[in-house]
Structure 1
Amino acid sequence: MLHLRTMAPATMTADILAALECDDAVTGLAVFRGAAVRPAGDLIMAQVAREAANDVIQRLRDLRVHQVGSIEMDPVGTWLSRSGFEAEVRTPGSSADAVVWAEVTQRAYDETELNWTFLSFLTLATVIASIAIVVDSQILVVGAMVLGPEFGPIAALGVALVRRRFVLLQLAIRTLVLGFVVAIGLTIVLALVARGLGWITLADVIGPRPGTAFIYTPDKWSFIIGVIAGAAGVLAITSAKSLGLAGVFISVTTVPAAGNIALGVAFGDGSTIWGSVAQLLLNIGGMALAGWLTLAFQQAVWSRVSVRRARHLRLPHRRML
């Protein structure tokens, strides 16, 4: 169940109520006349079955509520309501499977912003990954994978393509490129310092590393794992049950490859650089492709659900179900 709040001028209240009252998935409808100060007008609140959120939001967007006021939706963690339960039962689809596109798109924009926090986490993760490579520690590699924030903009690539948000696509590409450039660049500087101090030698970079050799030796499994992880990650961020996202971070070799690129540059080892670049691009490409395909499939499925709901709402006996 989702909690819906709209604020709009009083002249739009009747149209907003009509858009909400016509839908069996809406319950707990309340109006607070004159409660809104900026913009001046009315506050309208309701509970909406998650499965119907896209249709409800689209009707409000068609009324241009978001242009003159605001539309907000929050998940309701715990609720006790007979009418709410009946609204969910009447609404086709599963609440856990429902994709609320406004929520997904908003999250994509938030996680694609190139800011100090994103750069800090990505740089720290890359530095940890480079240390993991030097000491050949799989545990540190896993730690670097979990710390890296790069999945947000990678998932945003799929959202941008499916929803045709080309500004979001540009932001995601910029964040990924600049983020990795900065993280790798700073890690190169630190690697050169460590080399100068004698803490790292060429043998640490090109010598036998049974625990972390997979980072710079990509193969078909690198791409396959990227595809699987990308699909799982998108399902995790679009579902009401956001499970398994940590597993996605641990599965894909992006940040460790970036750390290995930095070490390769610091010691001038071409095979290390190009092997890691291939690993990084294969994994990002696999995740981006899988994210796009998964979101496209989800959009197609929920478009059919919306058609079923539209037919149901046109039935004269719908209130009696």
Structure 2
Amino acid sequence: MIAQLRICVPEELSAAVLDCCTGELGVAEVSRQPGGSILPPGDIIQVLLARESVERLVEKLQALNVQAQGSVSVTMPELVLSDRADKAAADAPGEGADAVIWDEVSRQTGEDSRLTWSYLAFLILATQLAAIGIVTDSTIAIVGAMAVGPEFGPLAALAVSLVRRQWQLGRRAALALGIGFPVAMLAAALTAWLSVPLGLFPSDVLDRGSAVEFIYHPGPYSLIVAVLAGTAGMLSVISRRSAALIGVFISVTTVPAAGFVAVALVLGEYQKAADSALQLGLNLIGIVASAAAVLVFYRLVTKRLPRGAALRLRRKAMRSQG
């Protein structure tokens, strides 16, 4: 798997950046366009390299403080026809699919964890679908609600914030969850409250026994499924395999549990509401804990730039600028 870096850098820092790029294992091509940037003024350096080498090179560029004086952007070309690129990918340690670009993970989860109108809309719609599936005993509607729910983004962001100590990201994700779920549950409760006098479903609908009883019966497997789903979800984020996220969405009982809490409270089934709330809590905790464990594992097995090497790069850059 090949990546492409575009680096905008001041002219006085260009030589140090070129040294980092040309000396990195897994680099196939390096090109420089002197004066290619007008705002800010400086050079444009482009690097074609194996994806598994991106994180280490980005760490070196950050040690040079390139991001403060210019920019670093990373893209993944769909197709690269190059023998040099193939050789670079073969020489680089590890596999591209297993490589973690930490800033990419933080940025992706950060964007998915914002409390936006679209996030609220999807969560409200998903909870409404879950409530309809509960009162109509429709597992299809329940599965649809699971697929529509956008809650994995903030949960993944919480895991990233815990591992990378990015507390601002964690606060933003907690805000999205802490506001999103109560608002969605309130909307579902209001809909259920209006539906009972209209005769859309009887008030004893939860006492009849149904295919959705698993929602208010939390147990060990609830936590096990959440842990497995959180692991698969974070792996899909790291490896950029978004198709696997669909399986994550439809395997956890977060949105259905939220919908059941809303319906049960309206119908006076307080014990079932409490059990469903416990189900929701188990799923949220299991997903965050397992996703964080995956990130911790990758941090342990991924070689990072030693602090001494970063200091040497900074001194070298200062000498070149001086």
TM-score calculated relative to the size of structure 2: 0.92
CA shift, 1:243, in A, is 4.3
1:6-42, Cα deviation, whole Å (9 max, x unpaired) = 1122222111111111113222211112221221211
Map of 2:188 onto structure 1: 187
Contact preservation (8 Å) 1:146, 1:249: yes
Matches within 5 A, 1:1-321: 1-209=2-210, 211-303=211-303
CA RMSD of aligned residues (A): 1.5
Structure 1, 241-250 or 173-182: larger mean CA deviation: 241-250
Map of 1:319 onto structure 2: none
Read off the aligned partner of 1:158 and give its amino acid letter: A
TM-score calculated relative to the size of structure 1: 0.92
CA shift, 1:93, in A, is 0.5
Contact preservation (8 Å) 1:95, 1:240: no
Contact preservation (8 Å) 2:25, 2:53: no
CA shift, 1:169, in A, is 1.2
Paired residues, number: 306
**SS at 2:34's partner residue?**
strand
- Alignment identity in percent? 38
Read off the aligned partner of 1:62 and give its amino acid letter: A
Equivalents in 2 of 1:219, 1:162: separation in Å? Answer: 27
Equivalents in 2 of 1:105, 1:133: separation in Å? Answer: 36
* Structure-2 change in CA distance of 1:122 and 1:216 (3 Å): same
Equivalents in 1 of 2:34, 2:242: separation in Å? Answer: 37
1:83-104, Cα deviation, whole Å (9 max, x unpaired) = 1111111111011111111111
Q: Which consecutive segments of 4 or more residues in structure 1 shift more than 2 A? A: 240-243
What 5-or-longer segments of structure 2 have no aligned partner? 310-322
1:193-232, Cα deviation, whole Å (9 max, x unpaired) = 11232212221233211x1110111111000110011111
Contact preservation (8 Å) 1:36, 1:42: yes
1:96-145, Cα deviation, whole Å (9 max, x unpaired) = 11111111111011011110010000000000000000011111111000
Read off the aligned partner of 2:303 and give its amino acid letter: S
What 5-or-longer segments of structure 1 have no aligned partner? 311-321
Equivalents in 2 of 1:294, 1:24: separation in Å? Answer: 26
